[in-house]
Structure 1
Amino acid sequence: MPLLTATIIVPWRNASHFRLSGTHFETPQRDPQNKKLPHMVTDHIERKLAAILHADIKDYSRLMGEDEVGTLRMLTAHREITDVLIQQHRGRIVSTAGDSILAEFGSAVDAVQCAVEIQQALKASNAGLPSARRMEFRIGINVGDVMVEGPQIYGDGVNIAARLEALAEPGGICVSGTVYDQVENKLELGYEYLGEQTVKNIAKPVRVYRLQREAQAPAIAQGTGDTSSPLPSPALPLPGKPSIIVLPFVNMSNDPEQEYFSDGITEDITTDLSKISSLFVISPNSAFTYKGITAKVQDISREMGVRYVMEGSVRKAGERVRITAQLIDATTDHHLWAERYDRPLTDIFSVQDEIVRRIVTTLKLQITLQEQGVIVGKHTDNLEAYDAFLRGIDCFWRLTKEGNAEARHLWEKALALDPQYAEAYAWLGGTYRLEWLFHWSGTPQTLERALELAHRALALDDTLPFARTLLSHVYANQQQYAQAIEEGERAIVLDPNNADSYAFQADILISAGRPEEALSAVAQAMRLNPRCPAFYLLQLGAAYRMAGRYAQAIATLKDTISRSPDLIPALVILARSYIEQWAVQQNPNGEELEPALAAARRALSLNDALYWSHTILGYVLLHQKQYDQALAATEQAVVLAPAEA
């Protein structure tokens, strides 16, 4: 997992997993006298987070006026399609009043997949009809907080979904920014950012994304419920050594709140395997794009470029845990082994070790004596501390001030339960570095605290890759690049399949003025993580800029921004790339700096508390000979960061 360097602000995956539901009804009006909602007991209002799908038919009134019987017959046929797809995607229909459909889902991913498949299926159904008789749905999807009353729900979260539907084109889908944040790195779909839209009865503008019409979703075979993986990807060649992907273990517990636990098991097993140099292991970031999707192992093998696929499930009940696991040769679809482990919860670590050893034996892997000790590294004997650690990971990757504070609290709790828990010290150090990076407090000692905790973790376990990575980041932030590169190299030796370590090393190599080595590191990161997060592209674009390959830098950074429109470092480096490309031209035209100015202003609008944004704006204005404005922007950067600007 990444810890974020000074120019990175996007995680490899969004760690939140929600219990969701939804409806389309407008928020009920309050009585101005008693301020109570009708039909609800305000003292005991139930709330939950919901993924809401709202669909409506274009020109339904016209269709009914022209042919009432035929339109109702067509609506019934379409409803049979949509009802099946909603059920297959674990959704629940809340209401089908008139020509609308309201459904709730267990996740934003399920809602978006369902919406795309509905539009594909209805497009096929409409294909043989005259254009004037086609029944086309517009779909809006939102994730938001709602109030619950029996089968119905109310609130702005509901209303926004309806407003998004109105913004969608016939046959199209619009989603809110909260939905986009959940699905961006999980579904390989095309997204067009429509900006912040002001919608009726909603106080604040809403970020809106349109799913591109050519985007494809996992296809469902009629009557089977079988789903394929996301967009077909180009086949990747198999590495010259055994290769594997560990798919997300399915949470079989009755409690969806235990999702973090099954995800944690998946990542622990992946991490242990990743430390074996004779094995090629796909990053969890790419593996988690298959979460909740039934895919053919042959497709996974082709898309990820691996021979072996491991899958399993976790059921945690009281003080017992059941883990099932199976290893498949995807090139032959042959199951090499399958095992079920029914154990006390206290045996959770030994079960993980047994699974890893079984894979090593089955694949006849050659492991060094050092690796034998590292891959079965001890976490903690305290299950309560381990549980707090996993919950902290979930909070940390929200990358918010509140999530960071909660993660810190949980890891401090883990260390109170087990003061020898090396991993908890390393990740606790990560919260201090994140606080320093985002200027969440005015405490100047936060980076020093991160350094102290990294050393404490290594004193307990000097084979801990994440502690080396943290140390590397801190040294880079202190501009001690030689030490940063050395620690980054140590992290890679300890965990040679950690894609993020290569991406972070690239960032440090860029800062040290070694772009060609950075390009090589990014290439390795992207092979280990084929469905990589936007910050890999950010590093690729930054390395191209450093190497003077401005056209490639601009193209890559524009691609980065299309995937992550709010990624400030990408906007800043894009602006700088435009300036440097302009500067090397024989007869530079001042108008060619306009794209740089637009990128700089966009970065500033996203966060005017970061000195980088003011610095790059001043840089652009200087080259446009707007000296007073350039000076003002630069002075503001100095005010925000006197020691850095």
Structure 2
Amino acid sequence: MSSSERKSVILAADVVGYSQMMDEDHEIALEALREVRDSIIEPSISTGGGVVVKRLGDGWLAAFEAGSDACAAALKIQELLAIDGAPALRIGIHEGAASFVDEDVFGSGVNIASRLEALAKPGGIAISEVVFANLSKDLQVSFENAGARLLKNIAEPVKVWAFGGIPPIGVASEPTSVLLEGFVERSSSNNLASEVVESTAIELEKYRWLQIHRPDNDGATSKYLLSGTLRRFGERVRVAVDLSARHDGRRLWSERFDRTVADELELVDELSAVLALRISAEIDAHEKMRAEMRPPEQLNTDELSARANDLMSSGQPDAFDEADSLLTRAIALEPRNPSGYMQQSFVSYRKAMSGAWPAYATLAAALQPAMEVVQMDPKMPGGYVMLASIHGMMGKTEAALEAASQVERLNPNAWGAPHGRSIAYTFATPEWARVHDPEGLQAISYAERTLELAQSSKFRSGHLFFLGIGQLLHDAADLQPGISTLERAAGAVGATWWPSLFLALAELRRANRQVAEQHLAAAHTLFPALSMAAIAEIFERSRIWPLWERELEQLPDVDLST
């Protein structure tokens, strides 16, 4: 066996509809294939400086030294086939690593060229950016920008240029998958490492948008790889974990955890919960970053939903219309995919928070898509997170707490459960709060738990807001802890006008009118249409209103438009 590996330009070609042609008339199909092979395809490859490396029945793989030669040959082939009225051909071209073994060829250059060939339209050509960039202007004008595309089993998007029309965009969503390798245990003790791996897999599977693979169950197509080591020294354990993107091995996150073993089961439970929380957050952030790099028309339902969620983290009402548009497309692409409905509910919820829409009516509208999620996938925590948040803000406290309990049953690591409860306790009616949480301690504890679980969340400003409000509810005599937290909320990325408004109220209570005016000006900057009517629409039914009514009545005196 002889082999060699080098960077080559690979041309992959395939006859369109050949199987059907064979079914209709075997002899005619064979004769047509021989004719175009001998008179058009292989002569054009040869005279263009290429070599046919492999015949694939009704397809070919050819190698060229230069992308310009491969493209010129491909254009000539398609021109001659169109004139001759012969069977249509699809062609894909990419420059990359190729290993030539006897009369075969392998490598990334072949894989991507083959995916591009499948992407091309009948009678068309699809080439990668690396090929297009090195073409002369005379050749470049033949190709249109088809945008970045996700190709099957190719992790990173490939920018595509097309001749013969823009290829259609695939829209099917595939689960975000993780290959969970067994951790290497460097000790002579029992197999603690495998226990950590198994428990982590169980915790990760509670995130319904993640799919967990093992090396022995088709993990070859996974987008991410989690590996690690566990070392034990007596009663001390050190776990090192590494999360990487599989297509290029790029490390996305790594961490080391040192623990003392008092109870092995408790240790396994603690480590698996921490690992699942961090891994899911890192993958979520990476998926959103990948989606942001590509135009919306090239995204599938899950990617459109992730982009919409990211837009919501800005806290700006201007983003709502764009998010709505993305989700309309997402639901049209896959009407039975719950991710689009979940984010649609979230957009309505954020609209209600903004003050720019009637709060109660908009919250009511948010309930329907949240219920759709629960009906489609009763095990998806996100649907119940939205129900907890919506019911909570509407003052339907018991319904909100029940939904939050369901989130916790499905995934104890999800920050949606304590966040839903913090919303419920904050927006509870005065009557309910007097019975169940008169001192605001529950509001504080659940907000603190949310911040603990959501350390990398882009919605951290909102989580800080609920902690600050809880602190103000708890201790009216000492406002400083709540003010300090609200200042952090107001300064965080994606802050809305809520923290600035309550900072203004707190400073009015402390008779710091000038400081209050500064905070109110900041609230106006974030929401120029801020008015007493908008504030009342959101907060008047809650326990907050009677406690701050005197300061709220002073707001018109500090230049609040009505």
Q: TM-score, normalised by structure 1?
A: 0.38
Structure whose CA Rg is larger:
2
Between the two structures, name the one with larger relative contact order (CA 8 Å, sep ≥ 6): 1
Q: TM-score, normalised by structure 2?
A: 0.43
